[in-house]
């Protein structure tokens, strides 16, 4: 008869969450190496990394809450701050790249911003 206490079961779940987060960050690192140009790379760099950090921090929060019996609000604040700042960083990097003339990968199929670029330079 397999008998697990509450701590063991929740430890298992927390381990799965943290493992999932680390695998996600590994895959986004592979994506950084494999993808062809700066825009697709910033896809991998900003967002998959955000989700993996979310998973790891959430697992940490659950660990301290359930097993160590200590509710740490700072971890939740960390999750919120990562979620607010990460998209702004990705947006600014790709916008700066586009406006300083970094070209897209050659097999990109649409570029609807292309004609409007010069007009925006004079207005901003």
Partner 1 sequence: MSFQLIINLIIAVIWMFLNNAWTVSGLVSGYVIGLGILFLLRNFFPSRFYFIGVMAILKLIVIFLKELILSSVEVMGQIMQPKLNIQPGIFAMDIKLKKEWEVTVLSCLITLTPGTLVVDVSPDNKTLYIHAMHLPDVEKAKSDIKNTFEKAIQGVSR
Distance of closest approach, residue 15 Cβ to partner 1, in angstroms: 19
Burial class (CB in 10 A: 0-12, 13-18, 19+), 85: exposed
Question: Do residues 107 and 37 touch, judged by C-beta distance below 8 A?
Answer: no
Judged by CB under 8 A, the chain residues 36 through 75 that form the site for partner 1 are 36-37, 39-40, 42-44, 46-48, 50-51
Min CB(111)–partner 1 separation in Å: 5
**Per-residue interface string for the shown chain with partner 1, residues 77-106, x marking contact by CB under 8 A:** ------xx-xxx-xx--xx--x-----xx-
> Cα separations (Å) of 40 from 11, 95, 96, 104?
36, 13, 15, 9
Residue 25 sits at the vertex; the CA angle it makes with 28 and 57, to the nearest 5 degrees, is: 145
CB of 99 to partner 1, least distance (A): 8
Residues engaged in binding partner 1 (CB under 8 A): 24, 27-28, 30-31, 34-37, 39-40, 42-44, 46-48, 50-51, 83-84, 86-88, 90-91, 94-95, 98, 104-105, 107-114, 116, 120, 123-124
């Amino acid at each position: 008869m397999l008998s697990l206490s509450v701590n063991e079961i929740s430890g298992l779940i927390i381990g799965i969450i943290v493992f999932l987060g680390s695998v996600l960050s590994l895959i986004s690192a592979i994506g950084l190496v494999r993808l062809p140009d700066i825009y697709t790379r910033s896809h991998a760099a900003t967002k998959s990394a955000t989700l993996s950090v979310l998973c790891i921090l959430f697992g940490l929060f659950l660990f301290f809450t359930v097993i160590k019996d200590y509710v740490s609000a700072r971890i939740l604040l960390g999750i919120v701050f990562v979620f607010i700042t990460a998209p702004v960083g990705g947006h600014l990097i790709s916008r700066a790249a586009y406006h300083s003339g970094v070209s897209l990968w050659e097999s990109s199929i649409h570029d609807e911003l292309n004609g409007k670029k010069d007009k925006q330079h004079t207005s901003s």
